[in-house]
């Protein structure tokens, strides 16, 4: 559940950033060169935030994968048939 919430937050931030950037470009009263400079500065700020979110999401996915892999391995080990003790149907 928490993993899906992180994905939604990440894509929400990404969508908000894109919408804000587009709106800013279309409605900006400044010269294009000034607007580009400001956008580059904001891009650097947002890049750090997005990288942190991506790294956190990546770690969470890896953690959940390893947890599921361990559970499957444990289940398989418990259900493994030992030689000489095969079940008869």
Give the domain ranges of the chain.
Answer: 2-71
List, for residues 40-86, the tens digit of each pLDDT value: 888 888 888 888 888 988 999 999 999 999 999 888 888 876 666 55
Rounded distance between C-alpha atoms, residue 31 and residue 28, angstroms? 8
**What is the pLDDT at residue 88?**
58
**What is the pLDDT at residue 1?**
53
Rounded distance between C-alpha atoms, residue 73 and residue 83, angstroms? 19
The angle formed by the CA atoms of residues 17, 13 and 23, to the nearest 5 degrees, is 25
- Choose from 25-29, 31-35, 56-60 the range with maximum mean pLDDT: 56-60
Across 32-47, average pLDDT = 81
**What is the pLDDT at residue 83?**
63
């Amino acid at each position: 559940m928490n993993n899906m919430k992180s994905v939604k937050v990440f894509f929400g931030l990404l969508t908000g950033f894109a919408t804000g950037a587009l709106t800013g470009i279309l409605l900006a009263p400044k010269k294009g060169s000034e607007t580009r400079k400001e956008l580059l500065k904001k891009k650097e700020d947002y890049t750090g935030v997005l990288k942190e979110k991506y790294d956190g999401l990546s770690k969470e996915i890896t953690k959940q994968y390893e947890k599921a892999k361990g559970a499957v391995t444990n289940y398989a080990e418990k259900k493994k048939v030992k030689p000489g003790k095969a079940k008869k149907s």
